[in-house]
Amino acid sequence: MHLEGSCHCGAVRFSCDSPHPVPYQRCYCSICRKTAGSGGYAINIMGRAETLEIEGAENLSTYQAKMEDGVSQAERRFCRLCGSHLWLFDSRWPELIHPQASAIDTELPKPPQKTHIMLGSKPGWIVPDIGPNDKTFDGYPDESIADWHHRTGTAEESEN
């Protein structure tokens, strides 16, 4: 699937291809909640880094989250003019980028089921909307974004 995305003010536009575009995974960790998830979680999807094209890259800034043991290797890219979080890049997985679902303008597929992760990090007022087939994890999930798409039959055939 070809994905088009942008920040709110329009200074940054980007596009990428994704064989695994379903926005099924909600992360309740403090970084996602504080930077991109006022409602209690953020959703990152997946794209192929080699297909990433950016307009207005001079308006991008990067946040590497402060962790207990230093600074996260994950680079969170956002528009320095309007603050929209756009995607995450981690040099440990250089073939991937992880766009925020909120930054994508293309109509995304509806998830047939969801995965809720880092539930151990959420405050009590956030009541997750857990469906009958959803998976829940206090920490990290037991399957990758690609594996979830294969299990649920939502991966695209063009994938290699």
Provide the minimum distance between the beta carbon of 118 and Zn ion in the complex, in angstroms, as a whole number.
6
Q: Where are the beta strands (DSSP E) in 93-134?
A: 96-99, 115-117
C-alpha to C-alpha distance for 58 and 37, rounded to whole angstroms: 25
Least distance in Å: CB of 105 to Zn ion? 13
Nearest approach, Cβ of residue 153 and Zn ion (Å): 26
Q: Which is nearer to Zn ion, 29 or 155 (CB)?
A: 29
Q: Which residue is listed with tokens 């979830």? A: 148
- Residues at the site binding Zn ion, with contacts judged by CB under 5 A: 7, 9, 11, 27, 29, 32, 79, 81-82
CA–CA separation, 56 and 25 (whole Å): 28
Select 120 or 153, whichever has its Cβ closest to Zn ion.
120
To Zn ion, the closest distance from the beta carbon of 48 in angstroms equals: 21
φ/ψ (deg, to 5) at 14? -150, 165
Cβ atoms < 10 Å from Cβ of 147: 13
**Residue 49 or 81 having the CB closest to Zn ion:** 81
